[in-house]
Amino acid sequence: MKHVLGPENRVDDVKWNELRYLDRFKYRFSATSVAISFLESLSLVAQLQIRKIVLHEKNRAVAWPQCHAQGFIPFCQRNPKLRIERRVDLWKAILPDASGLLIDNEHPRSANARPDPCDSAQADSITSGFHNQGCIASWIMEVMSLHSLGMPPQSFRMVIDGDLTPTQSTRIFDVAKRDAAWQIACEACLSDRKIWQTPLDSWEIRLWAVYIMDGFPEALRAITNGQSPVSCNFDIGQMPDTEPLVSQGRTWTLEEWGHNWGASVPANIDTEVPSCSWLDLQRENTLPQTTLP
């Protein structure tokens, strides 16, 4: 089949190109899922002899990889001496979710695509992901949830690896800290009954771009203070002062909160590594094109 037939049995080359792209996508297992499978293959006696596992998540993986560490919980419960360190590549494993599909970046063609080809991480998607499909925030918050799910203290830690370009990695987290500051300020204003006599429903708040995830600002602050199971191997600085933003936001309507958040989004961020641009990183997730009849 060369084409996808439209309503008039005509060729829909755009749809066909999209299907061809998806067919070339590399569907990788996460290092974490492979390690869990390996542990399951061992006897209990062998499992209890293991003291440390270091995982290197070097590429984008399938099936919400940020959640996969939950599979270690029973092993860590049975073996309290086991220590797991998950090293996740910021640019290759986390940030691909900060933009749409490669075909959207190279050939924008629909309402869901970016208006122009882009060669950078989209600043408005760095924290929450493109179409809220998960990015920095979800990786961090999944780790923070492990303890409540039964992970023993000190058993698991995650290191966000920005070695590809440490300076730009710091800029990436500047965006995340900015987003956290906006959520802090927004929550402070919405909780002030002198401003908002009628509290908003939680589902209304969660629909805003300003609202990242419940507890995200606190989790990010813990990372900056070195008091978190999540750390970075590059400088991320300290959380910004939110008081000026709170003072301004006291007079804003809901619409103004959304508009002003969007208007203050920083510039998009590229790798600044000539041999490994943003689109080059995206292309690593696809197989070479082939000529089909």
Given a contact cutoff of 8 angstroms between Cβ atoms, the answer to whether 54 and 21 are in contact is no
What's the rounded Cα separation, in Å, for the pair 2 and 79? 55
pLDDT digits (tens, 9 = 90+) for 202-233: 666 666 788 899 999 999 999 999 999 999 99
Tell me, what's the pLDDT at 218?
97
pLDDT at 235 over 50: yes
Domain region containing 214: 27-283
CB burial of residue 267 (10 Å; 0-12, 13-18, 19+): exposed
For CA atoms 116, 121, 127, 129, the dihedral sign is positive
Tell me the range of 24-33, 195-204, 228-237, 281-290 where mean pLDDT is highest: 228-237
Residue 67: inside a domain:
yes
Tell me the range of 102-116, 151-165, 198-212 where mean pLDDT is highest: 151-165
Given a contact cutoff of 8 angstroms between Cβ atoms, the answer to whether 167 and 127 are in contact is no
Confidence of residue 19 (pLDDT cuts 50, 70, 90): low
Spell out the SS3 assignment of the chain. CCCCECCCCCECHHHHHHHHHHHHECCCCCHHHHHHHHHHCCCHHHHCCCCEEEEEECCCCCCCHHHHHHHHHHHHHHCCCCEEEEEEEHHHHHHHHHCCCHHHHHCCCCCCCCCCCCCCECCCCCCCCHHHCCCHHHHHHHHHHCHHHCCCCCCEEEEEECCCCHHHHHHHHHHHHHHHHHHHHHHHHHCCCCCCCCCCCHHHHHCCCCCCCCCHHHHHHHHHCCCCCEEECCCCCCCCCCHHHHHHHCCCCHHHHHHHHHHCCCCCECCCCCCCCHHHHHHCCECCCCCCC
pLDDT at 112 over 70: no
Residue 6: inside a domain:
no
Residue 184: inside a domain:
yes
Given a contact cutoff of 8 angstroms between Cβ atoms, the answer to whether 155 and 81 are in contact is no
Nearest-CA neighbor of 24 among 293, 292, 290, 214?
Answer: 290
Q: For 150, left (φ over 0), alpha (ψ -120 to 50), or beta? A: left
Confidence of residue 242 (pLDDT cuts 50, 70, 90): very high
Confidence of residue 66 (pLDDT cuts 50, 70, 90): very high
Residue 273: inside a domain:
yes
State mean pLDDT over 1-23: 50
Please identify which residue in the block is written with the tokens 């590059």: 234
- Residues constituting the chain: 293
Tell me, what's the pLDDT at 117?
54
Residue 228: inside a domain:
yes
Six token digits for residue 243: 């008081």
The phi, psi pair for 121, rounded to 5°, reads -75, 130
pLDDT digits (tens, 9 = 90+) for 266-291: 999 988 887 788 888 888 888 876 64
Six token digits for residue 108: 């924008």
Higher pLDDT, 26 or 142: 142
pLDDT at 108 over 90: no
pLDDT at 15 over 80: no
How many domains does the structure of the chain reveal? 1
Q: Which residues contact 44 (CB under 8 A, 6 or more apart)?
A: 78
Residue 104: inside a domain:
yes
Lowest mean pLDDT among 129-133, 168-172, 231-235, 280-284: 129-133
pLDDT at 161 over 70: yes
Residue 125: inside a domain:
yes
pLDDT digits (tens, 9 = 90+) for 72-98: 999 999 999 999 999 999 999 999 888
